Structures are given as C-alpha cells and as structure tokens.
Structure 1
Amino acid sequence: MSPGVATVRERVTAELRAALISGDLRPGEVYSAPSLATRLGVSATPVREAMQDLAREGMVEVVRNTGFRVTELSDRELDELAEIRTFIEVPAMGLVAEKCSGAVAARVEELRETARELVRAANTLSMTEFMRLDTEFHIAFLSLHGNRRLVEEVARLRYRSRLYGLEALARAGRLELTSREHERMVDLALARDRAGMERLMRLHIGHTRREWAQR
C-alpha cells in the first residue's frame, strides 16, 4: 500500500469512527460503502477497508452484499466502559500533571489550541469534528504518561463508547460548557496539580456517561 493510500485510509477511519461515536451514524442502521464514500468525498475502496477495521473493533457488523450495520451498546455496557476508563485515566492523568515540566510541559501547552478547537466545534454543532478532536486531545495527553499499552487500551475503550446526546447538548449550549474542561486540564497539568487533575477527570468522564451518552 502506498503512503498516499494509507493516509486516506487513516483519515477515513478516523472520520468514520468519530461519526460512530457521536451517533452521526445511527445504531442499528446499515450503511453501504458507496454511500459513505460519497459523504466523505472519497472512493469506496478506503471506506470498505476502514469499515473492515471498525468491524474488527466491534463498532460495526458486516452485512453480506449490503454494507455495514452499526452496533449498539446497552446502558450497562456503556456504564462498564466508563467505569474502566475512570480506573485507568484518572490516576494516569494525575501522574502526567505531577510530572509536568520541561518538554512535557511544552507538549501540554501545545494541546491548548486543540482544547479551544473543541469549544469551536461544540459551538458550530460539528459533532464528528468534535469527537475527532476530543480523541486526539485525550490520547495525546495520556501519551505523555509514557505507557504505550495504557494509551492503546484507553483508545480501545473510547472507540467502543457511544455519545448519542452530543448534538442535543450542543444545541442547548451545554456542550460548550463541558468542553471547556479540556483547557482546564491543560492549566492543571501546567500547575502540576495532581489532585485537581484527578478530580476534574472524574467529573469529565462522568459528563461523558451521564450527559453526553444520553439517547
């Protein structure tokens, strides 16, 4: 596979994953590769490849000769995913804050712009873009902890989540308020406030489950 094709496939996978998490692609619905390709402005080939990757992650199911059905998670499954994320992300982010100096602090400061882009995406009701940025922000932040396997596991947990209520919250102006927590994470890390970071992460994951994922 050429580098150019790989880049398209990665972009398509990221956009489709964000659309699945945000509920833009609806649970139970079947989508064909050509229809998704038209939506994304690409050929059907990278879409089929991306959806095969997402099927391996359990986000969609292959419907023979038709397309891909979006899988649905029960409330209990969503609760379990949020609980595991709390066990992993809260202490990991606390450690990033505690050790935030030098090159780590410089990288944290670079994430401030992504945090602000999240607020803009919430204000413009760009839910797929919001989820792409949200994933980018949290994975980049957690990677500063230095544990690659931890980051991979959190990524898998996040990819399995569903946030059906994002657009309704955005229209009501409430998503902007909670999305501002991302820049607060930057501030807490730069202040090396481990306890404050851990409190905010518990609150943030709570928003994700109790408000963002409401059907």
Structure 2
Amino acid sequence: MAIPHIILFGLFAVICSVALAADHSPLQDICVADLAGPVLVNGRPCKDPKLAQADDFFFSGLHMPGNTTNTFGSSVNLVSVAKVPGLNTLGISMARLDYAPWGLNPPHTHPRATEVFTVLEGSFYVGFVTSNPENRLISKVLQKGDAFVFPVGLIHFERNIGHTNGVAIASLSSQNPGAISIGSAVFGSKPDISNVILAHAFQVGKNVTNRIKARF
C-alpha cells in the first residue's frame, strides 16, 4: 500500500529539522550578552539592543604576552563571550597562545568548537587524534605563518619545538568553545576518580595513578 504524500512530506520535514538542529544563525543584528542576568538559557540571554555600547564588542590585551612560568610552559588568553558580550549568538571566539621554549599546550579538546591554529612566531609540532577505533594521529610541524585545523571535539596538542618563545592565534567556531585538558580532567577531577578505575583503565598500578594525581 502506497504511503500518502502528506506522510512522506511530514517525514521529510522531520528529517530536515533534525539535520539542521545545530547552532542557529542570529535572528537579529546583535544580541549582547547580559552577563549578570538571572535567566539560564543555552548560551546567554540578550540585553536590550538599545543599551548596546561599543565596549560590548571590544577587547584589548592580545598584544600582551602571557605568563608561561608554569608546569607546561604555556599560556592561553581566550577572548570568548565572557569577555566580549557582543560575541553572543555569533558562534566565534579567539585566543592568544604563548609558549616558552619547548612549552606545551597539553592534549585537550574543545567540545563545542573547531579550531584554526595560526603561528605568529616560533616553530611548533601539532597534532590531533581521530576517534575510536582508529585513534589515528595526524600531526605536522608548523612554521611562522602556517595554520592547522583541529576538528571539533578531537584531542589535540601543540608544542613549541624551538629555542625561542612562540606565539599563536587560535580562531574557534563557538562563542564559548570550552576546553577539557585530558590530564587534569582525568587525574585532577573533584571529587577524584577512584584509583581502582584509573589503574584498570590505564593498565598500571595504583601507586602510579597516585603519583600522577599528586601532580594535578
């Protein structure tokens, strides 16, 4: 028995609506985030557009080097909607990344954003790992002026492989990309993940997981 055209049309509409259920395009010129607003939404509520000011779309400080005197020798200055309310609903953000010689931005993911990593100064070894079951490492050495793409959600890293300081700019396809550092998330969670679970997952003894936890 043939399915009526109206049912086929309905199924097509449902399929299309699911396929398009990603971040939506803005429905108005601006939606400056009300960072102090009490309303909780998936994103940020908008304040009255008539109250928008130039400073809602402005940030100063990307010319300032970050502090790289830490364990990893790297620093990230993220310019997201939390710092520039005018980014709300626009689906973009950026960051300045500074690296000491041999500094590392350790393996991490951005759950809501693809990243374009562009080298301004220095030489970098970068890469990302595809998902199971392949777990394929795709990596490359970058020089000044080079750019590399890290697909959304995939674990990636960057290491300065030169004897001088390195600087890069990251462009991200979300106003709030998020960052999950693998080491600190797994070994520095609060409350902590049981050593029984970690020892089993990483196929090591509990004494090893205890030592790693102490570092985080």
Q: Which has the higher strand share?
A: 2
Q: TM-score range by the shorter chain?
A: under 0.3
TM-score, scaled relative to structure 1 = 0.21
Q: Who wins on radius of gyration, i.e. which is larger?
A: 2
Q: Which has the higher helix share?
A: 1
- Name the structure, 1 or 2, with higher relative contact order (CA <8 Å, separation 6+): 1
